[in-house]
Every structure is written in C-alpha cells, then in structure tokens.
C-alpha cells in the first residue's frame, strides 16, 4: 500500500455555533492507554432495551403478566442483557429513586428480570443533573457544565465539577441497592467542553479577556476508570459498562468500556453513501482494533437507519441492539428487505447460528484475495469457520437496486464445489457452485446469508408457552 500524502485530522471541539477567535491554538499530547483483545464472550451477548418501566408494573398484576410475556419472548430470542431505559417515564440517569417505595419496586422488578436469567442494566448518564433532585441545593448545581446546556429535564454535567464521584458512587449504589448488574451510559464519554472557573476548567484568552472552554478529558477518564472497576471486581464481579456515544474513538476514556453503542447519526443523513464515508466509518464504528464490540442502533425516523444500518453493522462485524417495540409488535417483523418496518429478532439469528470457533473474519476492506465483487457499489464481508460455515453480509450502497455478482476464492478458502446458502430475512435458499453467486440487492440495503456445506435450516423462533 502506498504511503498517504497527508493525514487528515477532523476536529469537532464545540457543539454549539461559536465565533472563533482570530487564532486557535491546539496543544497535542500522547496518552498511553490500554487496548484489549476483542472479547470473544461477546459473541454470546444479546442486548435488549425495554422502554418505560415503573411502579405501575409492580402494582398492577395485569401489567406484570404482560411484562412476563415480553420476558418469555426475549428468553426465546436469546436475550442475555435486559436494559431498563426509563422508570416512571423519567430517565434513570436522574436521581428520582429517592423515594423508598420506588427503590423497593425497582429492586423487585430487577428480581423478576433476573429470574429469567438476564442481567439487568440501567440507563444513566444523560441529564443526571436534574434540579428536582433533593441534593440539588447542596452540590447539584456545582456539577453543571458551563456554558450550561439543558436537555429534556436535566443539565449536562462536567466530570470535574464533582460529577465524577456522584456518578461512580451512584452506580455502586444502584448495584448494591437495586440489584443492577450493569449500566448504559448515554453520551457520558463526550468529555463535554466547560469553562467553569470553579471546576478549574477553561482559561482566559489574554487578548480578549474572555473565558474559553477546555475539554474535560482527564476527569472523564478517571470517572470511567472508576465505574469500570466498580463493575469489574470492586462491587460486582462481572458487570457491564455499555457506552452509548456516537463519537469517533476517544481512547483516553473509552479504554474503560465493555461495549460501545452508536449509529444515531444515521437518522439525519440523506443517503447511505454520505453516511458511509468508508474511512471515517471504519474509524468511528469498528471497535475491533481497540477491543470493543460495537452495537448499532436503528430508528424509524430515517429509512436508511432501518435494515441498512443492520447491514453496515454486520459489514463491520457489529450487531444491533434490539428494542422492546420490535419484540412486542410482531406485525413489525421483517419479511423482506423492502419493508419499512422495524428490525426484529432475525438480526440476531446469524450470530446465533454461526459456530464461533476457529473462525476467520474477512472484512470488505481486506478480502480482495478471497472475494471478488462485480460492482463498485457492492461490499461484502464474511466470517468463515473451520467447518466452512459462513456468515456473509453484502451491502449495496447505490440508491437503485442492483444485481451484484460475488465469487469466493474457493482454492484459498478450501471450500467444497457446492455450498448452500439461506437468506436470513427472505428465507430464500440456493446453491453456490464453485464459490460464485449473484444477489439482487435493493438500493441502500443489505443481504444477510448463512452459508454451509450442507443445506441451512430455516430460522425459526421457538415461541414460549404463555407464562
Ligand atoms: Zn468543568
């Protein structure tokens, strides 16, 4: 590969329109920070987000019954981690569990979740600075990042303003008191810029006399390190720090996470190609090189954030987090890639079908020797294991439908003359002869295949009997 002529740094140092001074100075530093081997146990993790949860769940037996039917369905789908997004329509990041009844109810809810063999994970981080909290007059306001930013019902906080201890200790409290076994931190690893002199943040511009912002990387790093240690030995042995943050890697902080979750940026893009700037995407959304599994989100707000994001995820060996809405309402389940429907449990089927033992990953950016693709808008990544099972993901980045031909290097991969494929979504099955096959792929859509040396059975969900 030739040496690049230039290395481009892309900087985003503010999140609001800002009049730049005549000259901006950057100070660069190198941070020695750990990376981890990719955690193979992640192959058996299936993350499920449950929407609103609250006292009515515990107080109303009919609601408990409905909730248990969701849990039973989730069990059949192979869920392992069950996240509670909000409690009584409030984000769990807000310290609203100050009332003893709420604390008791929440503990009981977690016991129900644990009875199904799931780890209860709680949402936190975003808007933990709620002025309604009882301790607000004592230290709440001090934690606010400045200039202030209020969103939903709380302020953003600066780790340097006391938030580091508040959040780390709050998570330890949730584990001990509520029975939580992990935390889903929303946007907390941003290291938000702050200029609060009392925190020690910011600096005075000698020319204008204005107070300028600095990013609070070190205290945010310490905060994540503390939370990671709490979840991995100090308070609980095998907890999870699930980090929801769409930014490019911030290694100084994100060395201390278990899973990164991103992809909300896809809501706003007009085309998949714009979103899928390959180099940028690989840097931001491929955590393998740092030892992070990455999960993606999807949302109905933009067409390309549905099953196409699923395709992009699998193209990078990521998966998609599942929402309760896609479990409860089976009318939303996909029957083909054209559907403008939610993503359902089928997105997990390939990961559950494939035997993750002695396998090799051949990503699109490094598989030219083992896979040829007929169209420059077509991309294919695949896993192959010792038994020659394959998990294949193809994506068509063009906006129009295309027929794209793929051919494996049979000799190098040591594949048999005939192989069998089954599409996870459409259930179509076909033979692959001498490694060659073609796929009709809708515009900005993926196709996901399970391939084996013998016919691949259809994926079926074994529904549980009513509780
Ligand atoms: Zn600050």
Tens digit of pLDDT for each residue in 422-448?
999 999 999 999 999 999 999 888 999
Q: Using one digit for the tens of pLDDT, what is the confidence trace for 36-75?
A: 888 989 999 999 988 777 767 777 788 888 888 889 889 9
Distance 160 CA to ligand 1 centre (A): 5
CB atoms within 10 A of CB 46: 21
Distance 198 CA to ligand 1 centre (A): 8
């939303």: which residue's tokens?
A: 332
Is residue 330 domain-resident? no
Is residue 314 domain-resident? no
Which is more confidently placed, 286 or 110?
Answer: 110
Total domain count, the chain: 2
Is residue 14 domain-resident? no
The percentage of the chain sitting over the pLDDT mark of 90, rounded to a whole number, equals 45
- Within this chain, do residues 120 and 226 fall inside the same structural domain, yes or no? yes
Q: What is the DSSP letter of 456?
A: P
- Within this chain, do residues 226 and 367 fall inside the same structural domain, yes or no? no
- Within this chain, do residues 217 and 69 fall inside the same structural domain, yes or no? yes
- Within this chain, do residues 44 and 153 fall inside the same structural domain, yes or no? yes
- Within this chain, do residues 371 and 246 fall inside the same structural domain, yes or no? no
- Within this chain, do residues 94 and 223 fall inside the same structural domain, yes or no? yes
Supply the pLDDT for residue 467. 45
- Within this chain, do residues 255 and 369 fall inside the same structural domain, yes or no? no
Beta strands in 135-258 (DSSP E): 150-151, 154-155, 182-186, 193-194, 203-204, 211-212, 214-215, 240-244
Supply the pLDDT for residue 282. 77
d(CA 93, CA 97): 10
> pTM for the full model?
0.89
- Which of 262, 288, 311 is the endpoint of a domain? 262
Record the tokens describing residue 63, joined without a space. 């609601």
- Which of 211, 245, 262 is the endpoint of a domain? 262
- Within this chain, do residues 364 and 257 fall inside the same structural domain, yes or no? no
Structural domain of 182? 40-262
d(CA 97, CA 103): 6
Question: Near ion ligand 1, which residues have CB within 5 Å?
Answer: 158, 160, 194, 196, 199, 201
Report the CATH number that the domain containing residue 86 is assigned in CATH. 3.20.20.80
Is residue 327 domain-resident? no
Report the CATH number that the domain containing residue 377 is assigned in CATH. 2.60.40.1180
Is residue 417 domain-resident? yes
95 and 133 Cβ atoms separated by less than 8 Å = yes
Distance 94 CA to ligand 1 centre (A): 19
Confidence label for 269 from pLDDT (cuts 50, 70 and 90): low
Is residue 285 domain-resident? no
Q: Using one digit for the tens of pLDDT, what is the confidence trace for 293-317?
A: 998 876 655 555 566 777 888 888 9
Distance 158 CA to ligand 1 centre (A): 5
- Which of 262, 279, 303 is the endpoint of a domain? 262
Distance 192 CA to ligand 1 centre (A): 8
């Amino acid at each position: 590969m030739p040496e690049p002529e230039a290395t481009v740094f892309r900087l985003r140092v503010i999140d609001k329109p800002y009049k730049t001074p005549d000259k901006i100075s950057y100070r660069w530093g190198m941070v020695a920070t750990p990376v981890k081997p990719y955690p193979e146990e992640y192959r058996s993790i299936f993350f499920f987000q449950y929407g609103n949860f609250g006292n009515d769940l515990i107080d109303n037996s009919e609601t408990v019954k409905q909730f248990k039917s969701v849990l039973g369905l989730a069990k059949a789908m192979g869920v392992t981690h069950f996240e509670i997004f909000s409690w009584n329509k409030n984000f769990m990041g807000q310290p609203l569990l100050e009332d003893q009844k709420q604390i008791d109810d929440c503990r009981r809810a977690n016991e129900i979740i644990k009875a199904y063999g799931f780890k209860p994970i709680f949402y936190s981080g975003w808007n933990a600075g709620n002025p309604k909290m009882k301790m607000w007059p004592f230290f709440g306001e001090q934690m606010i990042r400045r200039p202030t930013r209020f969103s939903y019902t709380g302020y953003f906080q600066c780790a340097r303003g006391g938030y580091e201890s508040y959040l780390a200790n709050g998570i330890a409290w949730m584990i001990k008191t509520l029975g939580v076994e992990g935390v889903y931190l929303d946007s907390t690893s941003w290291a938000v810029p702050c200029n609060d002199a009392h925190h020690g943040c910011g600096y005075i511009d000698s020319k204008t006399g204005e107070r300028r912002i600095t990013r609070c990387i070190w205290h945010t790093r310490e905060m994540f390190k503390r939370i990671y240690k709490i979840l991995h030995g100090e308070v609980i042995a095998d907890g999870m720090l699930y980090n929801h943050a769409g930014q490019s890697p911030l290694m100084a902080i994100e060395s201390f996470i278990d899973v990164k979750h991103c992809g909300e940026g896809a809501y706003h893009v007009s085309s998949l190609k714009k979103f899928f700037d390959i180099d940028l995407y690989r840097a931001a959304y491929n955590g393998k090189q740092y030892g992070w599994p990455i999960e993606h989100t999807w949302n109905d707000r933009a067409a390309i954030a549905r099953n196409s994001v699923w395709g992009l995820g699998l193209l990078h060996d990521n998966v998609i987090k599942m929402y309760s809405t896609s479990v409860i309402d089976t009318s939303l389940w996909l029957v083909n890639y054209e559907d403008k429907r939610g993503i359902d449990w089928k997105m997990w089927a390939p990961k559950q079908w494939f035997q993750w033992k002695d396998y090799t990953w051949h990503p699109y950016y490094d598989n030219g020797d083992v896979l040829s693709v007929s169209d420059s808008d077509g991309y294919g990544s695949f896993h192959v294991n010792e038994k020659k099972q394959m998990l294949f993901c193809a994506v068509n980045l063009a906006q129009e439908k295309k027929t794209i031909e793929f051919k494996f290097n049979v000799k190098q991969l040591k594949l048999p003359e005939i192989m069998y494929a089954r599409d996870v979504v459409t259930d179509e099955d076909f033979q692959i002869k001498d490694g060659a096959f073609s796929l009709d792929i809708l515009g900005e859509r993926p196709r996901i295949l399970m391939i084996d040396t013998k016919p691949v059975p259809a994926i079926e969900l074994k529904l549980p009997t009513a509780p």
